Structure 1
Amino acid sequence: MTQPLADINSLGRVHFIGIGGVGMSAVARIMVARGVPVSGSDAKDLPVMQDLQSAGARIAVGYAAGNLRDAQTVVAGSAIRADNPELEAARAAGLPVLHRSEALAATMGADRVVTVAGTHGKSTTTSMVAVLLKEAGLDPSFAIGANVPALGVNAAHGASDIFVAEADESDGSFLNYRPLIAVVTNVEADHLDYYGTPEAVYASFDSFAALLPANGVLFACADDDGARALAERTRAAGNTRVLSYGTAEDADIRLRDRGPGDVRVSVGGQEYRLDLQVPGRHNALNAAAAFGVAVELGVAPRVAAAALGHFTGASRRFEFKGQGRGVRVYDDYAHHPTEVRAALSAARSVAGGNKVHVLFQPHLFSRTREFAEQFAEALGEADTALVLDIYPAREDPIPGVTSTLITGRLKSGRLVAGGQEALDAVLSAAGEGDIVLTVGAGDVTAYGPRIVELLGG
């Protein structure tokens, strides 16, 4: 992370190992649009690879050393194993191997960079900023870790000199960017498999804020203890401006959230109504941050407030999947207790007086071990909590760590096996007018469409 940032003009032909991933394809898409010769491969033939090939990239399905051909720089996805034949060939040839964030930073060049970081809400807030700026006529480039229906894609090369990007703290890679404007939605202990301690997480956000220049600005959420503390430390350092947003009395951008249809922000003594199409206090806070960024970039406050009405959500962020028998089904990527609680709060806000049923899949053994009690507390907000086995992702099992660490603390919930048992449990619980929410960062997302189908939707 301490190496000098690469320059897009020095990369030559760039080969992406794992180009089908949402983050990798985003960088590749922008590089192609900016005239960089791109090739790439992935284990499976994914739809986005066809899009990239149509745009001019050279694409291969399956990994083989020969896929590198004339590559001069290699970008490897975080999920790529050290024994991948293409990665081994790149290292043997002495080619520079970049992390996705390093490649994206090189792509940004001399643009005015807006980065959005935080333990939760990064994708949604980045999406809001990009949609707002686009609707206001600024046409930014953007790279987001989720597909955004209002934008049609998760990454694009814009006509302006503004670049909006989601900045991922999970592996410290957000320190590779050089932002002019940075948003921090919240700061909580997470990704302890990488950081080790909560203190190391907080220190990384201090380093992130320190990247801002004297003429830059940090937007920090005043409603979150971790972000507020970061704002105070950054102000004390005196190296850049700090603006806070939230419902707190002392917030520079004051949010007044009286529920759906009545969300307002106050800045400079003037109040503006936000026409939001996404529910939940967390989304109102995200909108306040996006509003602040747009105004900082010169968008008239009234225009910024109105433009937010064009944001309809991001993929897997309380995403409506369909309905049947009067039951509405949503899907959410939440994989931290705070995110689960926010998703359930949003579900309550659209359920009215009806019930909320959640099918939750814990993500990572280490995260389950660290936050089992907090997950149980968050899931307690649902009328029915059904919990699947842990989705391991990149981890090996940890002895004694199973989903029962969560279900053993639930008053109204239980462990369910995957497949038909989970589907039957959801269908037997949900009645007309109820909300069903599938939650987690693993393959639980596949259950939503199946539930809708079985409901006759």
Structure 2
Amino acid sequence: MLGKTKKLHFVGIGGIGMSGIAELLINYGYMISGSDLLKSQVTERLEKMGAEITYLHNASNVQDDVDVVVKSSAVTNSNIEIKTAVKKNIPVIRRAEMLSELMRMKMGICIAGTHGKTTTTSMTGMILTEAELLPTLVIGGVVKNFDSNAVLGKSKYIVVEADEYDRSFLSLTPIIAGICNIEEEHVDCYPTVEELENAFLQFANSVPFFGLIAACIDDPAIKRLLPRFEKRLCTFGLDKNATVRAENIKYSNFESEYDLMYANKKLGTINLALPGEYNVQNSLLAASIALELEIPFIDIRNGLQKFTGVYRRFERKGFVNDILVYDDYAHHPTEVRKTLQGIKEGSVRRLIAVFQPHLFTRTKMFYKKFAEALMISDVLIINDIYPAREEPIEGVTGKLISDVAHELGHKKVYFIKGKEDIPAKLMKMTKSGDFVITMGAGNIFEVSEKFVHLLEKQNKAQSKKK
């Protein structure tokens, strides 16, 4: 598949996108080495599969028998391992280029969007699996049904999450291009909204003449761009003009139900074990792709009904003393707002939101919008910023969000700089009947896990006294 290439070295192998490709290549029989700064469940899984991983970037990691070095978007050319590869004349390629090579011999189904692409890619993979089409999957999150973010299939189909960051998705070669939505994000890559929208147009219009673009007509940006899509188009959404749409939507107990309509004909009822309008829209894109592949409705229905979600996407962490604890990856104001709205639609519990901003640039641009979205919560805790790949920006902290929320009239808002101090605060403020959710793309999920542990410990101690 990759010519005479036998061994590949991944710089930043612990990233969710990098690890998925590494796992696929291991399953194809390639030798994989890699480096990262921290050991994680992801890297431990790869090590068990045979990957050699070093937890430090060092020139010696790029051994002489390495044929290709793959780097993530977060790794710069100043990295010592990249410099070493260049010195040794070893080809260095981006993750997206490697993903493109994996797609070359298959029918590529790529799903893009500012929000929802991980869940939608997973739903699509679940439907194709239910229809026994045996797809290869490369997803930006660990899917509970597969217990992995990568699945090596045996058919011609490959379903890929297409990341717009660093314009990576422009390297891909989709036959079907799905777009969930388009909203201002990654301002370090797209200085203007126009540049972002043009990139999505280029991605969509890259499908061949026999391919398909599936786009959400509910999204304002997509609706505005419809005349500029150059290939065959299938619209989906709640809009009455959508080719694939949902009618008679009902929400209850963090689940959703609706009638799936195709070309104004009712195909049947869909049940999702996920809440919120946004998940209905995600499932409509998955259904649109399935209908294009002529998958029977029963497989669409069963695939979506069996889909149990993605780790860190509205993931239930525990239920102790009538306190529900969830974690979610929401790291954009729209995602935060939709997640909290979905909870309010399905529950009357007091909602305690714990939010950790992700990236200094994102916080600087959106702190007011974050505060507005978080007003939905009854109690709000803001943690300081998770920096990820960025250096600090003077004056930009999580407190910007809590200050604006207070100014907007939120009655119970707290800024807690140290993540490690939040579980104890939750223990003091929570009561039976509460709903606690941690949100963010950093390590805030550790707070939900620690909080559940403290609740269980308290519960055991009280049981012993009785």
Give TM-score scaled by structure 2 length. Answer: 0.91
Task: Letter of the 2:205 partner, please give it.
Answer: A
Q: CA deviation at 1:387?
A: 0.7
Q: CA deviation at 1:158?
A: 0.2
Match of 2:25 among 16, 25, 31: 31
Task: Letter of the 1:388 partner, please give it.
Answer: N
Task: Letter of the 2:445 partner, please give it.
Answer: T
* Alpha-carbon distance between aligned partners in 2 of 1:335 and 1:23, rounded to the nearest angstrom: 17
2:339 is aligned to: 343
Match of 1:8 among 2, 13, 16: 2
Task: Letter of the 1:195 partner, please give it.
Answer: Y
Q: CA deviation at 1:407?
A: 1.6
Q: CA deviation at 1:420?
A: 5.1
1:3 is aligned to: none
Q: CA deviation at 1:40?
A: 2.3
1:245 is aligned to: 236
Question: Conserved in 2, the CA contact under 8 Å of 1:365 and 1:402?
Answer: yes
1:299 is aligned to: 295
* Alpha-carbon distance between aligned partners in 1 of 2:291 and 2:55, rounded to the nearest angstrom: 44
Aligned pairs for 1:198-347 within 5 A: 198-234=193-229, 237=230, 240-256=231-247, 257-260=249-252, 261-268=256-263, 269-347=265-343
Match of 1:374 among 362, 369, 377: 369
1:4 is aligned to: none
1:40 is aligned to: 34
Shifted more, 45-54 versus 31-40: the winner is 45-54
* Alpha-carbon distance between aligned partners in 1 of 2:144 and 2:175, rounded to the nearest angstrom: 27
Question: Conserved in 2, the CA contact under 8 Å of 1:115 and 1:165?
Answer: yes
Q: CA deviation at 1:81?
A: 4.5
Question: Conserved in 2, the CA contact under 8 Å of 1:119 and 1:185?
Answer: yes
Task: Letter of the 2:441 partner, please give it.
Answer: A
* Alpha-carbon distance between aligned partners in 1 of 2:211 and 2:5, rounded to the nearest angstrom: 28
Shifted more, 430-439 versus 184-193: the winner is 430-439
Shifted more, 134-143 versus 423-432: the winner is 423-432
Distance 1:57 1:326, change over 3 A: same
* Alpha-carbon distance between aligned partners in 2 of 1:38 and 1:422, rounded to the nearest angstrom: 39
* Alpha-carbon distance between aligned partners in 2 of 1:328 and 1:273, rounded to the nearest angstrom: 29
* Alpha-carbon distance between aligned partners in 2 of 1:375 and 1:427, rounded to the nearest angstrom: 25
Unaligned 5+ segments in structure 1 are 1-6
Q: Percent identity?
A: 37
- Does residue 426 in structure 1 map to residue 426 in structure 2? yes
1:95-127, Cα deviation, whole Å (9 max, x unpaired): 211111111111122200011100000111011
* Alpha-carbon distance between aligned partners in 1 of 2:193 and 2:363, rounded to the nearest angstrom: 16
* Alpha-carbon distance between aligned partners in 2 of 1:404 and 1:422, rounded to the nearest angstrom: 15
* Alpha-carbon distance between aligned partners in 1 of 2:79 and 2:257, rounded to the nearest angstrom: 52
Shifted more, 445-454 versus 294-303: the winner is 294-303
Question: Conserved in 1, the CA contact under 8 Å of 2:236 and 2:243?
Answer: yes
* Alpha-carbon distance between aligned partners in 1 of 2:199 and 2:391, rounded to the nearest angstrom: 26
Question: Conserved in 2, the CA contact under 8 Å of 1:359 and 1:426?
Answer: no
Name the SS for the 1:271 alignment partner: strand
* Alpha-carbon distance between aligned partners in 2 of 1:286 and 1:416, rounded to the nearest angstrom: 34
Shifted more, 253-262 versus 301-310: the winner is 253-262
Question: Conserved in 2, the CA contact under 8 Å of 1:321 and 1:330?
Answer: yes
Question: Conserved in 2, the CA contact under 8 Å of 1:12 and 1:36?
Answer: yes
Question: Conserved in 2, the CA contact under 8 Å of 1:384 and 1:429?
Answer: no
Question: Conserved in 2, the CA contact under 8 Å of 1:323 and 1:455?
Answer: no
Name the SS for the 1:91 alignment partner: helix
Match of 1:167 among 146, 162, 168: 162
1:253-278, Cα deviation, whole Å (9 max, x unpaired): 01122224532210141232112111
Q: CA deviation at 1:10?
A: 5.8
Name the SS for the 1:172 alignment partner: helix
Alignment length (residue pairs)? 446
* Alpha-carbon distance between aligned partners in 1 of 2:57 and 2:399, rounded to the nearest angstrom: 38
* Alpha-carbon distance between aligned partners in 2 of 1:425 and 1:350, rounded to the nearest angstrom: 26
* Alpha-carbon distance between aligned partners in 2 of 1:250 and 1:326, rounded to the nearest angstrom: 43
* Alpha-carbon distance between aligned partners in 1 of 2:294 and 2:152, rounded to the nearest angstrom: 20
Task: Letter of the 2:196 partner, please give it.
Answer: V
Shifted more, 372-381 versus 74-83: the winner is 74-83
RMSD (Å) for aligned C-alpha atoms: 1.8
Task: Letter of the 1:277 partner, please give it.
Answer: A
Shifted more, 37-46 versus 262-271: the winner is 37-46
Question: Conserved in 1, the CA contact under 8 Å of 2:251 and 2:346?
Answer: no
Q: CA deviation at 1:219?
A: 0.8
Distance 1:47 1:394, change over 3 A: closer
- Does residue 73 in structure 1 map to residue 32 in structure 2? no
Aligned pairs for 1:375-414 within 5 A: 375-410=370-405, 411-412=409-410, 413-414=413-414
Distance 1:396 1:387, change over 3 A: same
Give TM-score scaled by structure 1 length. Answer: 0.93
